[in-house]
Structure 1
């Protein structure tokens, strides 16, 4: 048994026919058949059987194909280890991306690649329908792909999948549009508008169909355009609307605003697809980490839609020492006080309420491994929680979700007789206040 035979088994498990394997490996179909026959004779165990024109693997064949993938991964790791002892500046990493994600994520890789030790990057742009992205891993080390929330997951038994972003779609419109100053819009309010739609089968057109279903009416599709730069020009010049992805759509035109949808959330995942053995290469794994970092920057710099600005608090960013351990408690609390999750990524998440958003994230620049609200800086966050009954219910349920009440001997008037509120603290030391309407906060000197 040799490496060529094992590669044939791996590809046969993926492609299903000898002809397809031959095309991929650039050999003849009889050559593939001869290798399979030789392997069968050597092992003495049936590895394949035929169903029509397809070749199916027996259980023994499936086991061998799985081991073949493991063997190739180990070989790639060995080669990468050897290269680390020599000059690896010429290592090449091939990255494919669809247009909007490529424009948002790839330039940063080039900027970081000025150092002499960085891999040689080769980019390819492929704006294909969602099911076709998986095929690109045969040509590229990393494939930046999109998948709508409701779509079938990627074939994880054949691919390594890393999610960079969960990206909502917002309504793009001119700043002069009557709805442009709104903090959000409902689907029904958009029923009489003229739309720029993407071509059928592409994510923005699928998203528009969801909005139509929510509104209960068919929208007028005036144009079909896949390029966001062209769509932005038409929106500004013609009073049209379109659905734009929140983080990766172009934002060069100051006459364009994005307004969130109020009654329906439509999002696409931006994922990186790769063969598992490709990620064994240090250069490929490092490039994937840089892509994750670029996505995190997008989340922090574009965490909410572009809406008309006004006075008031824009956002708060909270740095957590352990995002994985703390995010469930924060998610419960923020949901109870009326925030909705706008986006989520590997290093954190963003929550919105009206025009204000709150980001929970980690940072490599943390100067301590714990939070101390008694040090100079922000002491606590205060949230409007609705009625007094709502505050009481929240305080009663909080301990089950990692938040312990403070100042219980003075609840609910620890902040003053006219101030109905409760205080909570989690295990990480963060303190929050939940305030009943009306919000008449009075300084109390509480630490």
Structure 2
């Protein structure tokens, strides 16, 4: 019997997610492709590994047994990779990183350019995800590292199997139509007089801003729900409302809008998340160092907003 690591990862995801569709989404495959690979795994083993009950699946006893061993096998592969990296005099490795728009445009170009010059053997590939999805992707082994966020008004739940390295602390600023706020600063309560453009409450950013507004005594009147800061600022430019934008997000700012400081600062901490088992990987630590240096060059410190 020859077991495929690729198919074992799919079985592990099926065990975690409960449906082929959810497992496929987490692995960025089609449900049909995952079904075919799992059927092949059953043929490789020569036994039924799961049973369908409507849309959900339930692992058989043999399926559960193989899943337990899959966790050990995949963990051993990761430990072997680490041992090889530590034994090599020169670092040569490929890492997959989870990103979103503002870090991809504001931090990575400088960080990866510096990394390529000093450590050309390290290749970093990126996948854009919603910020609230990146930590789970690291935990599940889809990514080697990812950028994650914590807001001063909405700390993020943390997985015990992950560690994080603080990269930068950003301030949030008000982005308003030109001339809408004559003063150079404003409180959140004063901004409550304007219509808002904001991400949905399903997003970490949307929840954090709503929490901050409630703490300042008002419910924002949200006329437009959009997820990307660049889209929100384009709507601000058209005079459709106000929004909040981070330091890194200011790099996406269009002309024709005003950026106003908040009288009571709102902070968010940008970190890199990685599995605890990967903490000794030399390549990972070099990537973290390069990104921290890029953030420092932009004037962003690393004093976390949260304890």
Give yes or no for TM over 0.5.
yes
Out of 65, 77, 85, the residue aligned to residue 82 of structure 2 is 77
Deviation per residue, 1:327-376 (Å, 9 max, x gap): xxxxxxxxxxxxxxxx724xxx8xxxxxxxxxxxxxxxxxxxxxxxxxxx
SS of alignment partner, residue 107 of structure 2: helix
Structure 2 residues not aligned, in runs of 5+: 28-32, 48-55
Out of 85, 93, 96, the residue aligned to residue 94 of structure 1 is 96
Out of 143, 146, 158, the residue aligned to residue 143 of structure 1 is 146
What are the within-5 Å matches in structure 2 for residues 392-407 of structure 1?
none
Q: Does 1:223 align with 2:224?
A: yes
Instruction: Name the counterpart of 2:12.
Output: 12
Conservation of the 8 A alpha-carbon contact between 2:99 and 2:134: no
What are the within-5 Å matches in structure 2 for residues 51-200 of structure 1?
53-55=57-59, 68=73, 70-81=75-86, 84=88, 91-115=93-117, 117-118=119-120, 119-126=122-129, 128=130, 130-131=132-133, 133-135=135-137, 138-148=141-151, 150=154, 152-157=156-161, 159-174=162-177, 176-178=179-181, 180-182=183-185, 184-185=186-187, 187-200=188-201
Instruction: Name the counterpart of 2:286.
Output: 286
Q: When you count helix as a share of all residues, which structure comes out higher? A: 2
TM-aligned CA deviation for residue 162 of structure 1: 3.0
Indicate how the Cα distance of structure 1 residues 30 and 22 shifts in structure 2: closer, same or farther if over 3 A, else same.
Answer: farther
- Cα distance in 1 between the residues matched to 2:126 and 2:156: 27
- Cα distance in 2 between the residues matched to 1:67 and 1:129: 29
Conservation of the 8 A alpha-carbon contact between 2:168 and 2:295: yes
Instruction: Name the counterpart of 1:344.
Output: 303
TM-aligned CA deviation for residue 108 of structure 1: 1.1
What are the within-5 Å matches in structure 2 for residues 383-394 of structure 1?
none
SS of alignment partner, residue 273 of structure 1: strand
TM-aligned CA deviation for residue 163 of structure 1: 3.5
Indicate how the Cα distance of structure 1 residues 56 and 171 shifts in structure 2: closer, same or farther if over 3 A, else same.
Answer: farther
Instruction: Name the counterpart of 1:273.
Output: 273
Give the alignment's TM-score, normalised by structure 2.
0.68
SS of alignment partner, residue 169 of structure 1: strand
Conservation of the 8 A alpha-carbon contact between 2:200 and 2:206: yes
TM-aligned CA deviation for residue 171 of structure 1: 2.1
Which stretch shifts more, 247-256 or 193-202? 247-256
Indicate how the Cα distance of structure 1 residues 31 and 275 shifts in structure 2: closer, same or farther if over 3 A, else same.
Answer: farther
Indicate how the Cα distance of structure 1 residues 205 and 81 shifts in structure 2: closer, same or farther if over 3 A, else same.
Answer: closer
TM-aligned CA deviation for residue 225 of structure 1: 3.4
SS of alignment partner, residue 210 of structure 1: helix
Give the alignment's TM-score, normalised by structure 1.
0.50
Larger radius of gyration: 1
SS of alignment partner, residue 205 of structure 1: helix
SS of alignment partner, residue 102 of structure 1: helix
Indicate how the Cα distance of structure 1 residues 116 and 288 shifts in structure 2: closer, same or farther if over 3 A, else same.
Answer: closer
SS of alignment partner, residue 192 of structure 1: coil
Deviation per residue, 1:363-414 (Å, 9 max, x gap): xxxxxxxxxxxxxxxxxxxxxxxxxxxxxxxxxxxxxxxxxxxxxxxxxxxx
Instruction: Name the counterpart of 2:30.
Output: none
**How much is the aligned-residue C-alpha RMSD, in angstroms?**
4.6
TM-aligned CA deviation for residue 97 of structure 1: 0.5
Q: Does 1:241 align with 2:242?
A: yes
- Cα distance in 2 between the residues matched to 1:21 and 1:178: 46
- Cα distance in 2 between the residues matched to 1:269 and 1:79: 33
Instruction: Name the counterpart of 2:52.
Output: none
- Cα distance in 2 between the residues matched to 1:135 and 1:229: 24
Out of 6, 21, 29, the residue aligned to residue 38 of structure 2 is 29
Structure 1 residues not aligned, in runs of 5+: 39-51, 304-342, 350-447
Deviation per residue, 1:64-102 (Å, 9 max, x gap): 6775465223310233245x357x66x333222011122
Indicate how the Cα distance of structure 1 residues 250 and 64 shifts in structure 2: closer, same or farther if over 3 A, else same.
Answer: same
Bigger RCO (CA 8 Å, 6+ sep)? 2
Deviation per residue, 1:8-51 (Å, 9 max, x gap): 4996387265968996696743555688899xxxxxxxxxxxxx
- Cα distance in 1 between the residues matched to 2:184 and 2:193: 18
